[in-house]
Every structure is written in structure tokens, then in C-alpha cells.
Structure 1
């Protein structure tokens, strides 16, 4: 029996389809944790973002393993990886590519930039100029590039992990709120605990372990999981619950700019991906609650007078005050 959603028929998920997605998640988790020290909840959020077709903003100190984690994720699922180091003189063409004249064939040909990889880490995105930031975020939103009136589709699957240093602001261009809103999640890796850090030193003292990590599946497996996530069922009550959470953030007296409708769309999409990776064909309020902080907190702009609270505090209070329907 098919379900009607938005005027189109949606096939229900079969048990074997769900099991394939769960197995992919387990294999990727085991592969990444074999070469990178990362908390389980952070790795799960990254997997959710990948399956939900979302991008991730990582705010953390230098040297905590952001690039290593992105490389390990790309290798674990057999995807192409690229890294962009942002500087003030980075041009949009350095990111998306440019047309180059081929003298032998007497014509211009397109040379794609690093944005055409599957997993792209953009280091210190706030050091790029606003023009370059805008070009990058347009690629994230549209998933295509237009150069000299010719449109080029980006790779699929496609996920951007952009990093920011939260304590260094000299010579940076902070992302406007409208551009921050395009990231599905904001994560912070933090320092590992002493035992994990010692294990990391032992594992990496003989070289880079990412290059010898296991690869599980490929782009086709990830695309299949993304298609399954879109078919996960959500009830009217769950959608009403998400809307209630968004409204609470807008009504909170500590908040100047609350969560946008796009935030609700991304939160629901992430909840569906989490439900799939947990072996369910339907999303629950538990999925929404588990992801609310990483999806909503970075979108909230607090009033200047509020000095003793953060977006995370507001989201936690909103979750406590809003009953699941």
C-alpha cells in the first residue's frame, strides 16, 4: 500500500531496505572509529547529516581532528574527498573551477574545482571573503555551479563540512545569519578524554591511519540510504511538534531571531534519517529531541542584553516546556 504525500505516491519501506541502511551505518561507524577518535554522538550526527543530505558547520579549536574525521568519513563510504583552505585572497573560481583555453583543440574547457568532490571540508570558512563565502554557500544550496552561462551539476552524494575557530576573529568575515541557516547542523568535537587521546597517540605514531582504513560500500549505497530516508513516515502530530518548537524559540524573550521555517524542514529531514539509521520506518519525537540542539541552536540570535545564556540553553528550555504531541 502506498502513502500519498504532497500529491505523490510514496512506497512504504521494506524490512530489508531498512536493514541495508542500518548495516551501512554500522560499517561506517566501525570504520571511522578505527582511525579517528570521535565521540559516538558526534559520529552519529555526521552520519545523519550525510543520509539527510545536509551540511555541517564545525566550530572547534585547531588540531582536534576535524580534517581527519572528514577524510575518515569519506574513505569509510568510498567517496571522493577534497579540502579547501580559506584565506582572504581565495577567489570563487578557486572553489568552483574555471574555463581554461585548450590551444590544441582551440576551445575553452571547464576545469572543475574542489567543490566537485563528494565530501568537502572547508577549513576556516570565516577567513574567506564574503564574495567567496556566497559562492560556496550557493553551491551548497543549489548543488550546481554556473560558469559562463554553463551549468554543471555537483557530485552526488555531496556534503560540506565547514570549520570555524571560535576564539580567533582577527582578519575574519563572520558568516551572516542567513548563510549560517543553510547548515543543517553545528557540531563541536572537543578534546578527547585522556584514555582516548593516549590511544590516538599510539595509533598514529607510525603514520596516517586514514589511508589504511576500511571502505564500506560506495556512492550508490549512500544515495540509496538518502532515498530511503526521504520515504520515512512522519505523522501530522510530529510535524505539529516541530512547528511548536520553532514557535517557542521565536516567542522566547531572550531571542531576537528565532528558528526559521528552513530550520523546521532540516530538523524533520534529520529526524527521518536518524529514524532510518535506528532501524525504523517512522520518525518519533525522540528523534527530533535528540537533534534539536545541533540543528536549531546555531540559528538563534539572542538579544544583546543576554549574557548568561546561549542558543543551546534556549533550545533545552524549549524542549522542556513543549510537550510532544
Structure 2
């Protein structure tokens, strides 16, 4: 069922309010904050590949405070065990029964810091939660709650002692982006102490209302020609000469869901080809595996996506009616 214009207006205003609230902490990073909330409302997850000290932890905490939710931080290290993420069952001698002690995965916003430093076995502990919003421990399945967003980080420079994320886990992330360093004006404000601290943020929306935003985004109209456009882009990633493995069907679905949220956030009840273009790189580039020769030549996944967007002609406004 297509959403109404009134729902779209409410969605746009609420989305803008959430972004503005977090912007008080992350100065000059409006676009990244918009991407993060797009992933959250679209029931996806975010991978940040960035240098230390760029505000990744602040982003997670500010988002959880904005939606009046809970947040947790998991520092991934080589000795981290799956039970340290999901929780464990402990025998209570007084009660004479086993009792579940929940892990940090049970939060609205989970920061998985330096995720590639943990072993593949521990990394895989996130797979079920990220895909289904559930965690199974000792045969018992428990919901992580809603909304549920995993923000994982990894350092692109220091690779010693790390485990590369497998393609199956990379595919679980709806988006991959980076915060980057703040501009000069924002840096000066931070040094002057005029920027808002994360403890000053007031909640803007309840978790229940944010779940309602997810329901609204699913009702955004997508023209069959836009579906065809998304399909052609994803198919082109598989046919590109420099690519060994292209984007998955999950990637196409993620692009569609995020484009719906992006359209609603900009006050529209329908998706345009520009919505798809604006999100294609962040959603598809980390799902592409390049040929070794292409990597050696300096080709990047983002460059491949950019060329595909130039080659594929999007439907025009007259085509969409």
C-alpha cells in the first residue's frame, strides 16, 4: 500500500530532526549521518572503514540517544569469543536452573569496533543477528529487539593481526562508507569546545516510532522501470571485465529498500532514478570482488560502480509518467 503525502511529510520532518540532532556531535558530517539513519530505518547495518579518532563511537552513541534506545560497544580483539558477543547460559546454584546472561548484541545500536581483529568464528556470531534480528544460544532463540543497527568499524591502514571479513559477512552490511576527518571550520569548533558533547543530546523519537518509520518506508512506490534500472545496475556488476564476483540479490534488495527510505526522507512518495544513483556506491561497492589484475592496476570498486552508472541509461521522467 502506497504511503500518503501526510505520512511522507511527517517522515521527512522526523528524519531531518534525527539527522540534525546527531549533527550537533558530528560536525560537518550530514551526509554520513543521513546514510546511517537510512540504514537504520531500512533495517540494515553499516560498515565504517575509517581511521581512528574520526567519531565512529560518537556516531553510534548519538544515534542511540536520538532514538531513545540502548547502545553497546564491543571491542573486537583476537581473544574475543562468540559468547562474549551473544551472551552465555550460566547455572544458578541457588535456583537450581540455568540462567541466560545477555551479551552486548542485545541493544538498539551496537558498535562492533575493529571487527576484523576478531577470529572468523567470533565474527560469525554476528551473522544470525544481522540477518534475522535473532540470537540462538544453547538452542534457545531470542530477539535482539527493534530497531536494531550494527555499526562495524575497521581500520583501512593497519592490517597486522587482522582477519579479512568474508564476503558472506560483508554482504550482511547494507552500506559501507567512511566518516573521514572534519573540515577546518569543524575542527576549530571542536578545539574551542563549542561543539555539543554526546551527553547533551535529547531524544527525538521513540524506538516504537522509528519502527513506524520503517513501515512507512516500505510503502514508498517504486515504478517497474526503476526496478528494471536497479536490476540492470546489479547485473552489470557481474558482467564488468574487472570484476570476479558481482553484487548479490541481497545487494539489489538493499538498494531498493534504502532508495525507498531516501525518497521518503526527501519528501517523496515514490523512488526516482537519482535516489538509486545516490546510494549505489555505498550499497554495492563492498559486495564486489575485483580481479587481482584490476586491483594491481589501481582499479577500485567505487570506480567500477561509477562507470556502470555512466553506461546504463536511467528511465526519464517522461518514461515514469
TM-score range for the pair, normalised by the shorter chain length: over 0.9
- What are the residue-to-residue correspondences of 1:48-59 with 2, within 5 Å? 48-59=38-49
Distance, in Å, in 1 between the alignment partners of 2:181 and 2:90 is 44
1:236 is the counterpart of 2:224: yes
Distance 2:28 2:178 in 1: 11
Of 199, 223, 245, the match for 2:211:
223
Instruction: Choose from 90, 96, 100 the match for 1:100.
Output: 90
Q: TM-score if structure 1 supplies the norm length?
A: 0.94
Deviations along 1:38-83, one digit per CA (max 9) or x if unpaired, are 4221111111111111101000000011101111111112111110
Q: Is the 8 A contact 1:36 1:200 kept in 2?
A: no
Q: Residues of 1 paired with 2:250 and 2:2: CA distance? A: 26
- Structure 1 counterpart of 2:265: 277
For residues 95-144 of structure 1, give each alpha carbon's deviation from its aligned partner in whole angstroms, at most 9, with x where no partner exists: 01111222332111111111000000000000111101011122111211
Distance across 1 between alignment mates of 2:161 and 2:230: 38
1:228 and 1:200 mapped to 2: Cα distance?
36
Match of 1:322 in 2: 312
Question: What corresponds to 1:168 in structure 2?
Answer: 158
Indicate yes or no: 2:275 matched with 1:287: yes
Output one character per residue of 1:21-49: Cα deviation in whole Å (capped at 9) or x when no partner. 11211111121111222422111111111
Deviation at 1:247, TM superposition (A): 1.3
**Displacement, 1:187?**
0.7
Question: How far apart, in 2, do the equivalents of 1:47 and 1:200 lie?
Answer: 23
2:75 aligns with 85
Once superposed, what is the RMSD of the aligned Cα atoms?
1.3
Match of 1:162, SS state, is strand
Asked if the contact 2:28/2:183 (under 8 Å) is kept, the reply is no
SS in 2 for 1:305: helix
Structure 2 CA distance for aligned equivalents of residues 317 and 232 of structure 1: 28
Q: Does the 8 A contact of 1:38 with 1:189 survive in 2? A: no
Tell me how far apart the structure 1 counterparts of residues 5 and 276 of structure 2 sit (CA, whole Å). 23
Give 4+ residue runs of structure 1 displaced > 6 Å after superposition. Answer: none
Matched length = 313
Q: State how far apart, in whole Å, the 1-side matches of 2:193 and 2:21 are.
A: 14
1:152 to 142, 153, 158: 142
Matched, 1:309 2:299: yes
SS of residue matched to 2:3:
coil
Alignment of 1:1-325 (within 5 A): 11-203=1-193, 209-306=197-294, 307-325=297-315
C-alpha distance in 2 between matches for 1:75 and 1:13: 28
User: CA distance change for structure 1 residues 204 and 94 in 2, over 3 Å: closer, same or farther?
Assistant: farther
Q: TM-score, normalised by structure 2?
A: 0.95
The runs of 5 or more residues in structure 1 that have no matched partner are: 1-10
Deviation at 1:19, TM superposition (A): 2.0
